[in-house]
Chain A
Amino acid sequence: MQSGSIWGDSMDRSEIKVCVLRIEGTNNEDEMYYAFKRLGASPELVHLKDLKDIFDYNCLMIPGGFSAGDYVRAGAIFASRIRARMANDLHKFIDEGWPVGGICNGFQVLVELGVLPGFKRMDYPDACLFLNNSARFECRPTLLKHENKGKCVFTQNIPKGEVMLVPSAHGEGKLLFPREKEKEYFDRLFENDQIVFRYVDKDGKYAGYPWNPNGSAHNIAGICNEAGNVFGMMPHPERSYFDKNNNGISGMKVFESVLKYIEEK
């Protein structure tokens, strides 16, 4: 991110407008709305058809659910409608450093939009969140280790190495890259500090199924773009808003982190 203030004077928490974007089939917008509301920000539930200008907001959030019935592929229709409506504005919003987050289906939408992993500007996907290895909808608490060194604006207030209990509920969460670029892309994610959360077992070690619910390589549960302001994760921190671990860290920290980022920039 660029240094110094990009929005002039620091913002008051209550002035921070968060666009929680929905279409038919999204179903986690209320939890996400209240996650920001409880922290003193000013979230709004906005249907894509009613969105006038994304620059009316300081943060764009895409909630979980089954947007457009998961028809075609999870997140594909929501992504194509966003692309049709505001592709250029979205890229500009991201380039200006405003935060964009996607949880679960929202992560799938950001991947289908091509803004994650975001190695270069693309108008088609450069990754995929594919069917879980189990071919089942996996719905249960999962343990996540926070791996980011400080780039991701959604987790800057979570210490690196912290393990959090966050529920997963998805059928398509396995992160895949083009086969011929797989190694290069995973290497770049690690080198660029774009890995944010990884699934671990009760001892904090990277483990296979069922600790890793979908079979993602390197147990990846959440990633950010190279600048750190676009973030997606499969599990639901808005559903573990109050579930503090022994160090007092809960899903709330994800929302608090991004609000602090907006306040301080």
Chain B
Amino acid sequence: MKVEIKVGLKEGITDPEGLNIKKSLKLLSFDNVENVEVKRSYVIEISGKDEKKIREDVDMMCKKLLINPVIHDYEVEMIK
């Protein structure tokens, strides 16, 4: 099974990268850009079909490596 994990910043954490991208888009005359959030996406292939077990594994992967709980939130999507 393929799983997509999207890691983004928690609400209230200033995103310097997003602000910089927004500034550059404005300089390129995209005046209607109001906000840019940067997210990182991981698409992971995992063997097995037990979705509950896979979801538990994904949560541990996030906790142990993919996120820093101080600044990050994440969303998980199962892609069949």
Residues of A121-135 at the interface with B, using a CB-CB cut-off of 8 Å, are: 124-128, 130-135
Q: Which residues of A contact B13 (CB under 8 A)?
A: 130, 176, 179
Cβ of A130 and Cβ of B64 under 8 Å apart? no
Question: Is B20 in the interface zone, CB < 8 Å from A?
Answer: yes
Q: Which residues of B contact A124 (CB under 8 A)?
A: 63-64, 69
* Interchain nearest-CB distance for B38 vs A (Å): 10
In the complex, what distance in Å separates the CA atom of A77 from the CA atom of B64?
Answer: 10
Q: Which residues of A contact B19 (CB under 8 A)?
A: 135
Q: Which residues of A contact B63 (CB under 8 A)?
A: 124
Partner of B70, one of A127, A134, A135: A127
Q: Which residues of B contact A72 (CB under 8 A)?
A: 65-66
Question: Is B39 in the interface zone, CB < 8 Å from A?
Answer: no
Binary CB contact string for chain A from 109 to 141 against chain B (1 if under 8 A, 0 otherwise): 000100000000000111110111111000000
In the complex, what distance in Å separates the CA atom of A80 from the CA atom of B65?
Answer: 6
Number of interface residues of B (CB under 8 A): 17
Binary CB contact string for chain B from 2 to 45 against chain A (1 if under 8 A, 0 otherwise): 00000000101111110110000000000000000000000000
Interface majority SS (helix, strand, loop, mixed), chain A: loop
Q: Which residues of A contact B66 (CB under 8 A)?
A: 72
Question: Is B78 in the interface zone, CB < 8 Å from A?
Answer: no
Residues of A60-103 at the interface with B, using a CB-CB cut-off of 8 Å, are: 72-73, 76-77, 80, 83
Partner of B71, one of A130, A133, A135: A130
Cβ of B17 and Cβ of A125 under 8 Å apart? no
Residue of B nearest to A80 (CB): B65
Cβ of B17 and Cβ of A135 under 8 Å apart? yes
Question: Is A57 in the interface zone, CB < 8 Å from B?
Answer: no
* Interchain nearest-CB distance for B41 vs A (Å): 12
Question: Is A178 in the interface zone, CB < 8 Å from B?
Answer: yes
Q: Which residues of B contact A135 (CB under 8 A)?
A: 16-17, 19-20
Given the interface pairs A132-B16, A135-B17, the reply to whether A177 lies near B70 with Cβ below 8 Å is: yes
Q: Can you spell out 28 A-B residue pairs with CB atoms less than 8 angstroms apart?
A: A72-B65, A72-B66, A73-B68, A76-B68, A77-B65, A80-B64, A80-B65, A112-B68, A124-B63, A124-B64, A124-B69, A125-B70, A126-B70, A127-B70, A130-B13, A131-B15, A131-B16, A131-B17, A133-B14, A133-B16, A134-B16, A135-B17, A135-B19, A176-B70, A176-B71, A177-B70, A178-B69, A178-B70
**Given contacts A135-B17, A177-B70, could you give 17 more A-B pairs where the C-beta distance is less than 8 Å?**
A72-B66, A73-B68, A77-B65, A80-B64, A80-B65, A112-B68, A124-B63, A124-B64, A127-B70, A128-B68, A128-B71, A131-B16, A133-B16, A134-B16, A176-B13, A179-B12, A179-B13
